[in-house]
Amino acid sequence: MKNVLITGSSSGIGKIAAEKLKAEGYNVFQTGRKKLDIENYLSIDLSDPKNVNKLYNYVKENFGEIDILINNAGEYLYSPIDKMKLDETIKIFNSNFISHYYLTSLVVPYMKQKKFGRIVNIASISGVVGEANASLYSATKSAYFGFSKSLALELAEYNITINSISPGWVETPLTNAALNEQEKMETLDVVPQKRFVEPVEIANLIKYLISDSAKGITGQNINLCAGLTCGC
Q: Which of 228, 215, 203 is nearest to 20 (CA)?
A: 203
The helix/strand/coil state of 148 is helix
Taking the C-alpha atoms of residue 120 and residue 151, their distance in angstroms, rounded to an integer, is 12
Residues 6+ away with beta carbon under 8 Å from 172: 11, 12, 13, 199
78 is catalytic: no
In contact, 129 and 141? CB cutoff 8 Å: no
- Pairing type for strands 117-122 and 3-6 reads unpaired
Provide the phi-psi class of 150: left if phi over 0, else alpha when psi is between -120 and 50, else beta.
alpha
Q: Is 97 exposed, middle or buried (0-12, 13-18, 19+ CB in 10 A)?
A: buried
Q: Is 175 helix (H, G, I), strand (E, B) or coil?
A: helix
**Contact by Cβ (8 Å): 3, 69:** no
Active-site annotation holder among 26, 41, 76, 137: 137
Active site (catalytic) residues: 137
